[in-house]
Structure 1
Amino acid sequence: MPFTPFHLGPALLLSGLAPRRLDLPTLLVASVVIDVRAALVVFGPLGGPVHGPLTTFLGATVVATLVAGAALSLPARLGGLADRVRPDATVGTAAVAAGALAGAWSHVLLDAALYHDVAPFFPLAGNPFLVDAFGLVYGACVAAGLAGAVLLAARYARSARTDTS
């Protein structure tokens, strides 16, 4: 997607549906970090196709592994910042790993739905997810983001009431 923030919509919804199973900060980072390479292609320093090796399930799995490793190795001070956006104060390794994988793979699925140059199952050719319906996919991303924000807001409100009781 040329506008990376659209990837945050499905990430928010996924986290809202499974907040204890998917770590929100890790999920959000993993859902957009893949576009760093695409931005480097679009804006100059890298050559090649915009949707390259990271926009495959294999490449996204490597990215997810790196994101999860980075999230799990954050110093306590930085980890405390991430805790502020988590609906639940404690998060385990499995939730961080699952969040990273869900974020990275959702990125591949969204890009595969829109772009002819995405080969999600590389080294196999083809893209079975291509729908080529930009308005539909962007609209679904916005709707998912709104629904996810409502779910997370309700969870935060419940958590705040529990903390003050």
Structure 2
Amino acid sequence: MPFTPFHLGPALLIGVLCLRWLDLPTFLAASVLVDARTTLVFFGYLDGPLHGPLHTLLGATVLAGVLTAAAAPLRPSLDPVLDWAGLPQSTALGRIAAAALGGCWLHVLLDATLYTDVFPFAPVSTANPLFGAVGPLTVYVGCVAAGLLGVGLYAASRVDLLTLADAGSA
């Protein structure tokens, strides 16, 4: 997995860069939700391989559909928080669905570079051509760097928005 919270780094960066097209809360949730089953296996609540069916592009797609169905009616309740954070977004179903699919697939593709038991193309193939394409340290450092860059971009956008708001009131 890179340890589940690490997935939030790339998700935050991509989410901030793609605010126009992706629903940020759904994208962030999707980027970690793939590890729900993994967490249950890790703590002994489920048996089976650590990375199972949700760590395939097919499984992640099904999960994205479930997340979209769950998030669509709930998402408008987050509008006050997003408005306060300076991230107002449309709650269009297409944005939510794209965010769910993108976040789930991002998770699978990151994990596929690290773990031998992730088979992104199952059930069609048990090959994992992504395994070892990038070293573990590079993935983890990249996740942290992406998160920091995402926070920096968000902060910079807030400063620009506040500066513009102040200039308009003068």
**Shared topology, TM-score over 0.5?**
yes
Distance of aligned partners of 1:74 and 1:157 in 2 relative to their CA distance in 1, 3 Å threshold: same
Distance of aligned partners of 1:111 and 1:85 in 2 relative to their CA distance in 1, 3 Å threshold: farther
Letter in 1 for 2:131: L
Query: In structure 2, the residue corresponding to 1:106 is in which secondary structure?
Result: helix
Corresponding residue for residue 155 of structure 1: 157
Structure 1 distance, partners of 2:147, 2:117, is 26
Distance of aligned partners of 1:68 and 1:82 in 2 relative to their CA distance in 1, 3 Å threshold: farther
Structure 1 distance, partners of 2:163, 2:3, is 36
Q: Name which of 143, 146, 150 aligns with 2:148.
A: 146
Contact 1:30/1:101 (<8 A) preserved? yes
Contact 2:82/2:88 (<8 A) preserved? no
Contact 1:68/1:100 (<8 A) preserved? yes
Comparing 52-61 with 95-104, greater Cα deviation is found at 95-104
Question: Between the two proteins, what is the percent identity of the paired residues?
Answer: 50
Structure 2 distance, partners of 1:162, 1:61, is 40
Corresponding residue for residue 12 of structure 1: 12
Q: How much has 1:97 moved relative to structure 2? A: 1.2
Once the two structures are superposed, residues 60-116 of structure 1 have per-residue CA deviations (whole angstroms, 9 ceiling, x without a partner) of 111111112211111754554455557234342222111111110010011100000
Write out the 4+ residue segments of structure 1 that deviate beyond 6 Å after TM superposition.
Answer: none
**5 Å matches for 1:123-142?**
123=123, 124-131=125-132, 133-142=135-144
Structure 2 distance, partners of 1:138, 1:160, is 33
The normalised TM-score by structure 2 is: 0.87
In structure 2, runs of 5+ residues without a counterpart are none
Q: Which structure has the larger Rg over C-alpha atoms?
A: 2
> Is residue 67 from structure 1 mapped to residue 67 from structure 2 by the alignment?
yes
Structure 1 distance, partners of 2:86, 2:57, is 26
Query: In structure 1, the residue corresponding to 2:74 is in which secondary structure?
Result: coil
Comparing 86-95 with 49-58, greater Cα deviation is found at 86-95
Letter in 2 for 1:138: Y
Letter in 1 for 2:106: S
Structure 1 distance, partners of 2:100, 2:3, is 20
Once the two structures are superposed, residues 135-164 of structure 1 have per-residue CA deviations (whole angstroms, 9 ceiling, x without a partner) of 111011111111111122222333445566
Corresponding residue for residue 93 of structure 1: 93
